[in-house]
Every structure is written in C-alpha cells, then in structure tokens.
Amino acid sequence: MIVTTEEFGRTRDGDPVKRFRIENSQGTSFSVLSLGAIINSVQLRPEPGSSPVELTLGYSSVKEYEQNAPNFGATVGRVANRVAGGRFELHGEHYQLECNAPGNHIHGGYTGFGRRMWDAELQAASSEAGVRLRRVSLDGEDRYPGNVEVELTVTLNESNELRFEYRAVTDKATPINLTNHCYWNLAGSATKDIRDHEVKLFCDTYLPVNERQIPTGELRSVKGTAFDLTSSCRIWERMDALGGGIDHCFQVRGEAGVLRPAAQVVDRSSGRRMEVETTTAGLQLYTGNLLEGELERGSAGNARVLPAHAALCLETQSFPDAVNQPKFPSIILEPGSEYRQTTVHRFR
C-alpha cells in the first residue's frame, strides 16, 4: 500500500487542510480531506502502466469545498437527507433546525459535518490502509441537542474494497443519520453523464414523497412501477419514466444492522462495476438532477461546467424524516448507546 499526506490548502480561518491518499498494488486509490471528511478522489487504473481514471466529482481547492453546494464527497450529518419543516420533538422538547432547503432541513444544515474540520490519522497495514477521522459536535451545533463524538474510518484493501465505518456516541438524546455523498460516474468523471449506466438495487420497496420530497410515511412495493430496479437496467429508462430523474429512498432488502447487498452499478463501455453493501435500512438514489451548470474542477483541476446527471449518488442511510415518522426505524441515539454504520464499495 502506498500512503501519502500533503497540505491541500487552508480554510478561510487559516486552518490547514490535510489530504491523505491511499493506493493499493492494483493502482486503485482514494483521497480524503480533513475538511468535511470529504472523499476528494477515487481512481481506478484500467491496466498496469495506464493512466488512472477518476470516478467521482470534486474540486481542486479548499475554497470551493467550503461552499460545496452539491456536497461533493462530503460526510453528511448530523442527519442526512430531509427533516420536514426542520422541526422535531424529542423527550418533550421541541427543536427547530435550519431550513436550508425550501421549507425543510437537509444534510445537517448550512454547515453540517461536511464543511467542518476533523482530526485525522493514518491507519496502515500490509493488506489495507486508511484514515480515521474524528470530531466532537457540540451541544447546539446546527441546533441539534447533545455533545456527540463522531468517528469515521475509511479504508482500502487489496480486493478493491473501499470501506466506510461510522461510529457515534452522545451525552444527550439526539438524532443521528450519517452517510457519504460521493457522486459516481464509472465511465470516468470527465465523461458526459450516467444515463447509460446499468443500475440494480436490492430493494423491493421505496418511500413515496410529497411535493417537498418528504416521505409520506408509506413503504410501497416497487413492483409494477418505474422504481423497480430489482433487475439491472439502464438508468435512463427509469429516469425518463419518472420525469427526468430520481431522488428517492429505497428500503434495502434484509435485516438492518447486517452487512448485505444494496446496489450494483455497471458501465458497459468500460466494463467497470461497483457493488455496494451496507448495514443501513435505506439507500437514497440520486441521479444528479440538479447538477446542470455546476462548475466542477475534479482532482486533476480540469475545470468544466457539468450537465444534468453527470454522476449519481448512492447514499446509504436511515429513512428520511424518521424523527417525524413514528412508523420508521428510530434514528434517536441515547446516552450509553452507540451508533454504528458500515458501507462497502467494491470495484471490479
């Protein structure tokens, strides 16, 4: 394993941002930043001696990541996805979060975990290497209750498995729902879009939403609908049937808390395949519907204006708005308990 560390830049407050890069013997690599625990790059080498291919969207400067409206590569928290009206009640207390989306709270608020500094240290071994990132989210941060200690360890092994292991503890009851927000394009991040990617989800049900993308509380079968991705199909077929894009949560088949298949993505033009396994109950599939016009510079600095659907996200998480949906699995973390989540991306 090849492990390197460098200064990526400095924040507006002058804090140095470190970039850690891990590469295995096959030339597969990832880079993560101490700002936002952001995955800055994931690259695959098609064959020995060839140039690596970048599979994710990103930026080339700290300044851009401090804005990062699309959340390129960010670790999202305290609560990923949407909270209706930014409001919830917990143990008799009412909380009002920031409404940083139309009428709703999304991805932890205007700052969230993805725009804050993390402590980071390398974790290296002969067969795998990674980075352990930690931070303390103080009581009241982004208007959430409780002091929360958060840890994320990202590792790469010689089997081309990129593993995310999340952990959190709190001193006061608080909602926790963490995920990573990488945008994937297996054809290469510089290519046009992901419409011809073949996608399969190990999900028999999905969460219908209202006009503000808030779940109605129902779990509905995908059978006979455009949300049926239980068999591999080109994603444009489902996107077009749904009016041009997907941004919905699906229930992953099997028991939550157990690592199991969640998704498979294939780019036939290159033969690249990504398999996703997770312990979470849900998987949010987002087909980059709002990327059009976004300026992306990539890890190589190749500036370009993105089209819609330039990449897709597979956000492993608990169900959106679970704090307001009594029928959904709870996302409340109590003192004395531990939040854990594991997600694996396997590249072939």
Q: Structure tokens of 92?
A: 């008799």
Q: Which of 312, 290, 307 is nearest to 192 (CA)?
A: 307
Which pLDDT tens digits describe the chain residue by residue (348 residues)? 999 999 999 999 999 999 999 999 999 999 999 999 999 999 999 888 889 999 999 999 999 999 999 999 999 999 999 999 999 999 999 999 999 999 999 999 999 999 999 999 999 877 899 999 999 999 999 999 999 999 999 999 999 999 999 999 999 999 999 999 999 999 998 788 999 999 999 999 999 999 999 999 999 999 999 999 999 999 999 999 998 899 999 999 999 999 999 999 999 999 999 999 999 999 999 999 999 999 887 545 567 899 999 999 999 999 999 999 999 999 999 999 999 999 999 999
CATH number of the domain encompassing residue 49: 2.70.98.10
What pLDDT does 124 receive?
Answer: 84
Q: Give the integer Cα–Cα distance in Å for 55 and 42.
A: 6
Q: Structure tokens of 10?
A: 């400095």
Q: Structure tokens of 306?
A: 């993105």
What pLDDT does 299 receive?
Answer: 47
What pLDDT does 297 receive?
Answer: 74
Contacts of 255 by beta carbon, 8 Å cutoff, 6+ apart: none
Separation in Å, CA 95 to CA 83, 92, 170, 248, 295: 11, 10, 17, 25, 35
Contacts of 93 by beta carbon, 8 Å cutoff, 6+ apart: 145
Helices (H), the chain: 62-67, 235-241
Question: Residue 67: what residue type?
Answer: Q
> How is the chain split among helix, strand and coil, in percent rounded to 5?
5, 45, 50
Contacts of 240 by beta carbon, 8 Å cutoff, 6+ apart: none
Say if CB 207 and CB 319 are below 8 A apart: yes
Note down the domain range covering 20: 2-347
User: Please, what sign has the CA dihedral across residues 245, 251, 253, 256?
Assistant: positive
Enzyme catalytic residues: 181, 315
Residue located via tokens 């927000």: 181
What string of DSSP letters covers 56-97?
B---SSHHHHHH-TT-TTPEE-SB-SEEETTEEEETTEEEE-
Q: Give the integer Cα–Cα distance in Å for 14 and 32.
A: 19
Task: Give the containing element (helix H, strand E) for 346.
Answer: strand 339-347
Beta-carbon-side half-sphere exposure of residue 8 (alpha carbons within 13 Å): 32
Contacts of 111 by beta carbon, 8 Å cutoff, 6+ apart: 142
Q: Give the integer Cα–Cα distance in Å for 121 and 132.
A: 5
Rounded-to-10 torsion of CA 76, 280, 264, 215: -70
- Number of domains composing the chain: 1
This model's pTM is above 0.85: yes
